[in-house]
């Protein structure tokens, strides 16, 4: 007597369904991963643009406040007086002081900044040297700030992260305040101011070129040290 065993046919649709679900899951995961990568790239781009802008904003603020306003206050103090009124615009921020009252408002956007007025409490006559000093130190203070930052960076032994904010600030100072501001235009403010202070224009241009070369060398030196540190870190990793 023979017995015939009947086996159930293998359900091919079940395996096909599983494969379809798996492929769909992988597809969705790949799309999700792609969106995450694009999001990270966009976030990095926005972060970089923000650093670039903030560095430029701070460069303008240092030029106007630490340069012109601070130097004006020193000139006023030498004549025994102080600010009665001032109005300073840095791009889109407008700061006004009248007596003891301060106010901050929004001004029409501009690339740079401007000291609209700085009026002393007691009126006095400015000398040519004082006018030149106050005008020159707008670019002078950004140059000094740039030089101090560069010296400080080059004194660091361990260079782990590149200071992009400081790097852009230095580049703005070099390009705009020292090179373009001094050597372009019919009456460049730094050069005219130096002449008012009694400095020979050819000598002043030579000093600016020398300072630009020193800062450029310090910046390149730091970039090279950072690149070499990164290479060593990759080799030891």
**Of residues 205 and 185, which shows the higher confidence score?**
205
| Least confident range of 27-41, 149-163, 207-221 | 27-41
User: How far is residue 203 from each of residues 54, 129, 195, 200, measured CA to CA in Å?
Assistant: 34, 17, 10, 5
* pLDDT at res. 22: 65
DSSP state, residue 121: S
**Cα separation, 109 vs 89, whole angstroms:** 9
Strand partners, 93: 90, 106
Taking residues 41-57, report their average pLDDT: 94
**Of residues 2 and 33, which shows the higher confidence score?**
33
**Of residues 117 and 29, which shows the higher confidence score?**
117
> Which pTM does this prediction carry?
0.84
**Cα separation, 76 vs 58, whole angstroms:** 25
* pLDDT at res. 27: 61
**DSSP codes, 167-206:** HHHHHHIIIIIIIIHHHSSSS-HHHHHHHHTT--HHHHHH
Taking residues 40-65, report their average pLDDT: 95
| pLDDT tens string 67-90 | 999 999 999 999 999 999 999 999
* pLDDT at res. 17: 60
Looking at the chain, the whole-number percentage of residues with pLDDT higher than 90 is 73
Taking residues 26-37, report their average pLDDT: 69
Pair type for strands 93-98 and 113-120: unpaired
Q: What angle do CA 213, 200, 73 make, to 5 degrees?
A: 85
Sequence ranges of the domains in the chain: 48-232
Q: Is the pLDDT of residue 12 over 60?
A: no
Beta carbons of 162 and 234 less than 8 angstroms apart: no
Residue 118: how many other CB atoms lie within 10 Å: 19
**Cα separation, 159 vs 150, whole angstroms:** 13
**Band of residue 104 on the pLDDT scale cut at 50, 70, 90:** very high
Q: Where are the beta strands (DSSP E) in the chain?
A: 83-90, 93-98, 101-106, 113-120
Q: Is the pLDDT of residue 132 over 80?
A: yes
**Cα separation, 132 vs 197, whole angstroms:** 5
**Cα separation, 86 vs 96, whole angstroms:** 6
Instruction: Identify which of 28, 62, 37 has the alpha carbon closest to the alpha carbon of residue 169.
Output: 62
* pLDDT at res. 14: 56
Q: Is the pLDDT of residue 184 over 50?
A: yes
Beta carbons of 173 and 59 less than 8 angstroms apart: yes
Taking residues 51-56, report their average pLDDT: 97
**Band of residue 20 on the pLDDT scale cut at 50, 70, 90:** low
């Amino acid at each position: 007597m023979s017995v015939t065993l009947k086996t159930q046919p293998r359900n091919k649709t079940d395996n096909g369904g599983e494969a379809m679900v798996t492929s769909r899951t992988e597809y969705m995961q790949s799309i999700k991963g792609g969106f995450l990568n694009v999001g990270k790239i966009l976030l990095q781009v926005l972060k970089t643009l923000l650093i670039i802008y903030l560095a430029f904003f701070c460069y303008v603020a240092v030029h106007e406040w630490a340069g012109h306003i601070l130097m004006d206050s020193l000139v006023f103090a030498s004549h025994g007086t102080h600010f009665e009124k001032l109005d300073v615009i840095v791009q889109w921020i407008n700061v006004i002081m009248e007596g003891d009252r301060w106010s901050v408002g929004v001004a029409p956007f501009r690339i740079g900044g401007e000291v609209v007025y700085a009026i002393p409490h007691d009126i006095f006559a400015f000398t040519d040297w004082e006018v030149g000093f106050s005008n020159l130190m707008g670019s002078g203070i950004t140059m000094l700030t740039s030089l101090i930052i560069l010296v400080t960076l080059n004194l660091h032994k361990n260079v782990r992260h590149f200071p992009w904010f400081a790097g852009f600030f230095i580049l703005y100072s070099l390009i705009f305040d020292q090179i373009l501001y001094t050597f372009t235009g019919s009456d460049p403010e730094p050069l005219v101011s130096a002449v008012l202070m009694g400095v020979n224009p050819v000598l002043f241009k030579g000093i600016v070129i020398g300072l630009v070369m020193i800062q450029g060398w310090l910046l390149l030196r730091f970039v090279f040290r950072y690149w070499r540190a990164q290479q060593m870190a990759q080799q030891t990793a």
